[in-house]
Amino acid sequence: MYFNFHDVTFSGVLKLHKTRLYPGLDFSGSTFEENVEIVTDSPSGILIFNNCIFGGELVLIESTLEGILGENIEFTKIGLTFWDSKLQNIVLKNINAFSLSINDCIIGKEFVITNSKIVAGDFSGSQFTGFLELHNCKIDEANFSELYVGLRCNFENIIFLNNSDFSATTFNGYVYFTDSVFKGDVSFEGASFNEPVSFQGKPKNEKFKFYGKLDFSHVDIRKGIDIDIPTEWFKLPEAEIEARRVQRLSYEKEGKRDEADRMFVLEMRAKRRARLQNARSKFEQIKARLHNFVEWLLADLPPEYGTNWVRLFLFSLLVIIGNTIPYTIWSNFIKGFPKTSNIVIRFANALYYSLVTFTTLGYGDMHPTGWLKALSALEALTGAVFMALIVAVIARKWMR
């Protein structure tokens, strides 16, 4: 049976120092006009704060508790600060706080926050040996750096309104960012994922999933990442480049070569967009557009950056047959071309001439004259490039 302080107004600072809280205290419906300071060693104690209003800060320092439970909590000025404490359970629902700081704490079983709005969330240095669950929340500044999460970590439908920091955090269980949105930069630098991590899903009312930059540098992904999401979900091409890079490495580690190639193509296309977007002056923009056009024409359009030999082979046939048509029409400009009125035979001879020109064999039985010299030279140059690409692509595809 809990000790109840229902619907009580505490006008001054409430200090519970060196107090044994067993089985617990229930402050449901109470109003705290000043700070609440708790220092206790009560491994079986539970604090309940349902429908409470805090004019100051709820502080828990160097304490041991079974749990803190609460819903419909309003912090009009500050928020919650837990420091160097051990708890088994923290379950909070529908809270509105300017700050939520849980630093250097150990949460044994579960930490759950749902339907809440937090201006500044700082969880750095804490250990969540059980579950870490956040659902349907809005967090302005989020600091989840240097954490340890022992079991499942679930960030479902979370709106990170500003920058988010998950650097140097160890996730020992599955990690989900389902339907979550990052409106600022997000960093996972030096993080470790010992189980799969997923970034699938986006709310329909949000245009992007990632609004800012994305950093996965020095990340250890043991069992795969699922950030294979549409290009339209990235506002910045730099974020897509980083996402495609780590997804490509994950696919390669799993032996999914075709999927890794697809990520490589998307990564290179995002780099083209980034090059154009980062061009500041008019000259740099013209240079970037020209660079992108040549790269698209030679590297992306025919072979998809060396990943699609079938497409390259079809483009080669298109070049050969496409040049056959003008050779057929203007065959009188080709010395040694057999004279015949049969259009089928003329087309076959033109196809033969186009093929030996494309492959740069040049048997010498036919010679172009006039403007067909330029066309033949262009086809020979295209053929030399395409033949080299075909060899390189096939070697990359089956010999790696």
d(CA 160, CA 143): 11
d(CA 214, CA 243): 7
Structure token pair of residue 84: 């160097």
* Distant-in-sequence, close-in-space partners of 117: CB < 8 Å, separation ≥ 6: 95, 96, 97, 137, 138, 139
| 209: nearest Cα among 248, 249, 164, 167 | 164
**Residue 362: per-residue pLDDT:** 66
Low-confidence ranges of the chain (pLDDT < 70): 1, 362-364, 399-400
* Torsion sign over Cα 260, 262, 264, 266: negative
| 41: nearest Cα among 26, 22, 68, 13 | 22
**Residue 262: per-residue pLDDT:** 95
pLDDT tens, 141-182? 999 999 999 999 999 999 999 999 999 999 999 999 999 999
Instruction: Annotate 213-248 with b (16+ C-beta within 10 A) or e (fewer).
Output: bbbbeebebeebbebbbeeebbbbbbbbbbbbbbbb
**Residue 326: per-residue pLDDT:** 93
CB 233 within 8 A of CB 212: no
**Residue 169: per-residue pLDDT:** 97
Q: How, if at all, do strands 367-368 and 334-335 pair?
A: antiparallel
pLDDT tens, 68-83? 999 999 999 899 999 9
C-alpha distance from residue 28 to each of 25, 40, 90 (Å): 9, 20, 16
d(CA 82, CA 39): 10
**Residue 93: per-residue pLDDT:** 96
How large is the greatest C-alpha to C-alpha distance in the chain, in angstroms? 110
**Residue 334: per-residue pLDDT:** 84
**Residue 375: per-residue pLDDT:** 92
**Residue 364: per-residue pLDDT:** 67
d(CA 295, CA 305): 9
User: Any bridge partners for residue 181, and if so which?
Assistant: 159
pTM here is 0.86
d(CA 88, CA 24): 14
**Residue 369: per-residue pLDDT:** 87
**Residue 21: per-residue pLDDT:** 78
